[in-house]
């Protein structure tokens, strides 16, 4: 009987040991986090809103459920353009949007979204990850208690939807156009009126004549947004946003509360989101463009060369004026320009020459 009692106790101990080795007690007892993420996009909006949804899902999966994030679309918890304030004030732990939406608080933030006639997606990633751009971005947001991460890219956008043809730079005079960031300042310098409204409000404003033109992203989104019903002419290229970065922002207080492994999970998930979003747009844009043209009769137009030259000149003036008027912008612009001097020559003999060779 004593032998049987001993074996029974040993079996229980062995079973307990198996549980311990199967899943370490430290993991079982690890602190769980429940966070909120607010976005500038309508709920579950294709690619952009989906990117926020996937980001939350990937973080939960990679953390083995230690971080659960509830995603709120624009207007569900805070206004679409109130995302940065909500994260900065600690109302929520995370946000998803684009840095140029906060230009009123930090003019230099626009460099981390898109610069007219600036870097494309590949060059933006090179500057941010390999050229010190991300460090400057973190430094800029630190004063607001926010930690930024690249978390998506649209690639080269379209030039926009117009209710009239753009034949010369003078056609921008008096034009009311929904266009954010530095691109909006270029349009204003050309004599137009730049209007900033959230994505969910654009179609109504265009359809009702509140605005005469709008840019958004590209064919995949523009088809779903139905802009072809409200405007006739569709222009390219997207000189104003050649590689727009989307961001995930985290409250510094919330970030500092995480152990190092969970910080690494969030950072890695943002890298994944950055690649996923760009791939989605590139994979889907051409099919949507063909549908817009072939099915809906959209008038596809390239901006005339003299218009592009004029806009390029104005863009250089806008960026130079910004750098001269704001110390933070001056610092970021210096980094941006220094990196451009290094990457443009390489782009000329690699990407550009290759694309030209394809057409020989």
Query: pLDDT confidence of 200, banded at 50, 70, 90?
Result: confident
Kindly tell me the burial class for residue 210, based on how many C-beta atoms sit within 10 Å of its own C-beta (0-12, 13-18, 19 or more): middle
Kindly tell me the burial class for residue 75, based on how many C-beta atoms sit within 10 Å of its own C-beta (0-12, 13-18, 19 or more): middle
User: Which residue in the block uniquely carries the two structure tokens 């863009």?
Assistant: 315
Highest mean pLDDT among 18-22, 26-30, 194-198: 194-198
Q: What's the chain's average pLDDT? A: 92
Q: Is the pLDDT of residue 67 over 60?
A: yes
Least confident of 12-16, 303-307, 355-359: 12-16
Query: pLDDT confidence of 2, banded at 50, 70, 90?
Result: low
Q: What percent of the chain has pLDDT over 90?
A: 89
The size of the chain, in residues, is 360
pLDDT attached to residue 88: 98
What do you get for the CA distance between the two ends of the chain, in Å? 91
Q: Model confidence over 26-66: pLDDT tens digits?
A: 455 589 999 999 999 999 999 999 999 999 999 999 999 99
Q: Model confidence over 150-171: pLDDT tens digits?
A: 999 999 999 999 999 999 999 9
pLDDT attached to residue 22: 46
pLDDT attached to residue 18: 42
β-strands 233-236, 67-72: how paired? unpaired
How much of the chain is helix, strand and coil, in % rounded to 5?
Answer: 55, 15, 30
As beta bridge partners, residue 249 has: 95, 148
Task: Tell whether the torsion through CA atoms of 158, 164, 169 and 174 is positive or negative.
Answer: negative
What are the structural domains, with CATH classification, of the chain? 32-155+243-282 (3.40.190.170)
Distance from C-alpha of 316 to C-alpha of 221, rounded to nearest angstrom: 29
pLDDT attached to residue 346: 94
Q: Which tokens go with 136?
A: 């400057």
Best CA proximity match to 179, nearest among 164, 165, 163, 158: 158
Distance from C-alpha of 179 to C-alpha of 184, rounded to nearest angstrom: 5
């Amino acid at each position: 009987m004593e032998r049987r009692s001993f074996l029974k106790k040993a079996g229980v101990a062995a079973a307990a040991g198996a549980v311990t080795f199967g899943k370490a007690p430290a993991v079982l007892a690890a602190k769980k986090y429940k966070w909120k993420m607010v976005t500038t996009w309508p709920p579950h909006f294709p690619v952009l809103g989906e990117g926020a949804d996937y980001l939350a899902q990937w973080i939960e999966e990679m953390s083995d459920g230690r971080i659960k994030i509830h995603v709120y679309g624009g207007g569900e918890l805070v206004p679409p353009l109130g995302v940065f304030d909500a994260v900065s004030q600690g109302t929520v732990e995370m946000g998803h949007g684009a840095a140029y939406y906060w230009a009123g608080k930090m003019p230099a933030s626009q460099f981390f979204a898109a610069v007219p006639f600036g870097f494309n997606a590949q060059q933006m990633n090179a500057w941010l990850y390999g050229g010190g751009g991300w460090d400057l971005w973190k430094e800029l947001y630190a004063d607001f208690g926010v930690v930024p991460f690249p978390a998506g890219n649209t690639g080269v956008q379209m030039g926009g939807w117009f209710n009239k043809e753009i034949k010369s730079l003078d056609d921008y005079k008096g034009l009311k156009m929904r266009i954010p960031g530095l691109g909006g300042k270029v349009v204003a310098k050309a004599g137009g009126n730049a209007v900033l409204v959230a994505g969910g409000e654009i179609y109504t404003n265009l359809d009702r004549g509140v605005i005469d033109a709008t840019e958004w992203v590209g064919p995949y989104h523009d088809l779903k947004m139905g802009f072809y019903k409200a405007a006739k002419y569709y222009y390219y290229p997207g000189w104003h946003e050649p590689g727009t970065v989307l961001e995930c922002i985290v409250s510094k207080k919330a970030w500092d509360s995480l152990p190092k492994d969970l910080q690494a999970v969030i950072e890695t998930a943002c890298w994944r989101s950055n690649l996923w979003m760009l791939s989605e747009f590139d994979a889907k844009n051409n099919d949507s463009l063909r549908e817009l043209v072939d099915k809906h009769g959209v008038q596809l137009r390239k901006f005339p060369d003299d218009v592009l030259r004029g806009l390029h000149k104005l863009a250089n003036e806008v960026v130079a004026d910004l750098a001269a008027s704001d110390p933070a912008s001056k610092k970021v612009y210096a980094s941006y320009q220094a990196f451009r001097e290094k990457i443009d020559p390489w782009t000329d003999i690699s990407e550009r020459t290759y694309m030209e060779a394809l057409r020989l």
